[in-house]
Structure 1
Amino acid sequence: MGEVDIVRLLCLFFAVVMLIGHSVDAGAENPTREKCTCNLDPDDPPADGAWVKNASACWSTEVKDLNWCDIVVESLQGSQATQTTSMELFGNASNPPVLVDVLHSRFDNFLQVSAVEGGPIDLKQAADIVTSRLKENAALIANCVTALADRKRGFVEDGDGGVVCRVSEVSGWLRLEIPVEAARIVYMVAPGT
């Protein structure tokens, strides 16, 4: 084997290593799944839709039958609000009633923004349902926030009234889904830093 053949073989070897390394990194984090996104089929990679790339917490209203959703950003990446969101949630995971109060307060802020913009669901009825579902599922929410804090990707727990909380296997984001009428209200939070 000549010197030129050895150089070609080494170049081919490094090219294969680079391709394998690149494909592993690319599959590790799909930015369209379970972040601040309109994801009407959360168990499937969405073929279309939108997401907020620089958000770390948000609320969404999703109406699958209408193929409609909205996103209201609660905090952005790198902001002081991001640290406050994580600290408030993680710090109260062992106290479900206080954790529910924190989420209820954040939901009220979401309602104020959504009331101005409007949408396809009755927000007064949604507020009553979400408040009730948060209280009924306090233990589930605490378990889910603890899973997020402990970075337990793949955590999924079903609760009362159709509530589902999961920590994405792919992105590590928390996704709390609360059914309301023919829609669902979804709270999404980035993993803590």
Structure 2
Amino acid sequence: MSKTFAVVFAIALWWAVPSMSAEATQEKCTCDTKPGAVQDNGAFVNNAVACWSREDVEREWCTISIQSIEGDTRHQTIIGELDRLQDDPEQLTAFLQEQEAETVADQSTVEFAQARAGLPSLMENNSKLAAACVEWFFKHKEGNADFDGIEEGPFSCRIGEATGWLRMSFLVGEVRFIFMIAPDA
């Protein structure tokens, strides 16, 4: 299935099927170039449970690429791989790089293309932080841990207190690549 068809299908499904998702928060598949108390500078996807967004901070522009929508098996596959690889930072990073490459094919601007070229090395340099983030995601899901998030240079990670969504961010220059996924049900 082509990526264009998948996006068109997801949009059509969004219009045709009432979503089971609650109101959008910064914890879900959203992008907001000026985060604040009210989300009014970006976008969200109602029925997505796994996605990548790209935010160009300078241009105040963002895109969201859907990896999985509610009810499909892709979400459970991603969760299973994250769980399996959480103790292996290098393999986890390779998996995340593969997911980003498959999901975010568009390089619509020179800035995005240049930032994307720097993303693999940034991800590799922060592989241990990413693994710690995923480990906390599973601990939180099981109710075993409080997590204040990780903010170290161009890498950040947080887990939504109310929803349990994982939000992992990599800042390359002025472009932020963000992986977001809901906990499994």
TM interval, shorter chain, is: 0.7 to 0.9
Give the aligned partner of residue 88 of structure 2.
Answer: 95
8 Å CA contact retained: 1:72, 1:110: yes
Give the aligned partner of residue 154 of structure 2.
Answer: 162
Q: Which amino acid aligns with 1:179?
A: L
Residue number among 97, 104, 117 corresponding to 1:128 in the alignment: 117
- In structure 2, runs of 5+ residues without a counterpart are 1-21
Distance 1:41 1:148 in 2: 25
Q: Match of 2:42, SS?
A: coil
Q: What count of residue pairs does the alignment treat as equivalent?
A: 160
Tell me the TM-score normalised to structure 2 length: 0.77
Q: Which amino acid aligns with 1:184?
A: R
Q: Map 1:30-179 to 2 at 5 A.
A: 30-42=23-35, 44-112=37-105, 114-115=106-107, 118-119=108-109, 121-123=111-113, 125-151=114-140, 152=145, 154-159=147-152, 161-179=153-171
8 Å CA contact retained: 2:122, 2:172: no
> How far 1:51 moved relative to its partner?
0.7
**Greater Cα shift, 87-96 or 163-172:** 163-172
8 Å CA contact retained: 1:32, 1:50: no
Q: CA RMSD in A?
A: 2.1
- In structure 1, runs of 5+ residues without a counterpart are 1-28
8 Å CA contact retained: 2:65, 2:104: no
Q: Match of 2:32, SS?
A: coil
Q: Which amino acid aligns with 2:99?
A: R
> How far 1:133 moved relative to its partner?
1.3
Distance 2:147 2:34 in 1: 16
> How far 1:66 moved relative to its partner?
2.3
Q: C-alpha offsets along residues 96-149 of structure 1, whole Å, 9 cap, x if unaligned?
A: 11111100101111342x13xx146241x2233210111111111111111111
> How far 1:48 moved relative to its partner?
4.5
Q: Which amino acid aligns with 1:73?
A: I
Q: Match of 2:31, SS?
A: coil
Higher helix share: 1
Is the alpha carbon distance of 1:111 and 1:33 closer, same or farther for their aligned partners in structure 2, counting shifts above 3 Å?
closer
> How far 1:36 moved relative to its partner?
0.5
Distance 1:181 1:147 in 2: 27
Distance 1:31 1:149 in 2: 22
| Larger Rg, first or second structure (1 or 2) | 1
8 Å CA contact retained: 1:148, 1:167: yes
Q: C-alpha offsets along residues 49-108 of structure 1, whole Å, 9 cap, x if unaligned?
A: 321111111111112332211100011121110100100111110111111110010111
Q: Which amino acid aligns with 2:51?
A: C
Aligned residues with identical type, % of pairs: 31
Is the alpha carbon distance of 1:92 and 1:181 closer, same or farther for their aligned partners in structure 2, counting shifts above 3 Å?
same
